């Protein structure tokens, strides 16, 4: 094919954003972009409330992730490394941790192992690995190390939405609600 994607005028910012993410993430766009469907479900946070901690050391990635979460109706606290994650969960319970794998002080895998060892099973957060290492087998490796889900960077809205929805389903089943 001659083109990887195409846009129609007038170009909507959300459509352009989605196309650029797909082009630069080395993943093929497997489904056509529906221009009538909003990119962000702004009511998700109200329908599926979650207390979220974003564990990310890169300031730009923090801003992008916080903006995505905001557009989905969520607010999140931020930790810049694994040690800050451990401090944060001792101060306040979180439903979800969006955990960058490579961070200074303590990486995401070590922080996850620590959380799994220290918290009671009914207090465990749903941990979503976030990494630019999108190699074959990475998802399974991080799940084996105690994480519950996985999204690759750059994070795409649909992958983040699906992971957050999965975390909501996890808590509903753990708490016995339907």
Give the pLDDT means over successive 10-residue stretches in the chain (178 positions). 70 72 55 55 86 96 93 96 97 96 95 95 94 78 93 89 93 73
For residue 42, the model assigns a pLDDT of 77
For residue 156, the model assigns a pLDDT of 87
For residue 28, the model assigns a pLDDT of 47
For residue 29, the model assigns a pLDDT of 47
Q: Per residue in 148-178, pLDDT tens?
A: 999 988 888 889 999 999 999 998 887 776 4
Name 103's Cβ contacts closer than 8 Å, sequence gap at least 6.
55, 56, 57, 80, 81, 82, 111
Residue 6, judged by CB atoms within 10 A of its CB (0-12, 13-18, 19+), counts as exposed
Please give the angle made by the CA atoms of 166, 170 and 173, to the nearest 5 degrees: 135
Name 102's Cβ contacts closer than 8 Å, sequence gap at least 6.
57, 108, 131, 132, 133
Domains of the chain from N-terminus onward: 1-29 (no CATH), 42-174 (3.40.50.2300)
Sheet of 96-100, strands arranged across: 76-79, 52-55, 96-100, 126-131, 149-152
For residue 88, the model assigns a pLDDT of 98
For residue 175, the model assigns a pLDDT of 74
pTM for this model (two decimals)? 0.77
Contact (CB, 8 A) for 100 and 130? yes
């Amino acid at each position: 094919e001659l083109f990887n994607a195409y846009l129609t005028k007038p170009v909507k910012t959300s459509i352009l954003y989605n196309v650029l993410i797909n082009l630069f993430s080395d993943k093929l766009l497997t489904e056509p972009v529906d221009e009538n469907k909003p990119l962000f479900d702004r009511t998700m946070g109200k329908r599926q409330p979650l207390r979220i901690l974003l564990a990310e050391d890169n300031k730009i990635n923090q801003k992008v992730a916080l903006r995505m979460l905001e557009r989905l109706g969520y607010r999140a606290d931020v930790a810049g490394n694994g040690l800050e994650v451990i401090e944060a969960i001792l101060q306040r319970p979180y439903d979800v941790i969006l955990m960058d794998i490579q961070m200074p002080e303590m990486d995401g895998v070590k922080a996850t192992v620590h959380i799994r060892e220290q918290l009671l099973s009914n207090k465990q957060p749903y941990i979503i690995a976030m990494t630019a290492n999108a190699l074959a087998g990475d998802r399974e490796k991080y799940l084996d190390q105690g994480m519950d889900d996985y999204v690759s960077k750059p994070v795409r809205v649909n992958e983040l939405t699906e992971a957050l929805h999965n975390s909501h389903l996890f808590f509903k089943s753990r708490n016995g609600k339907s």
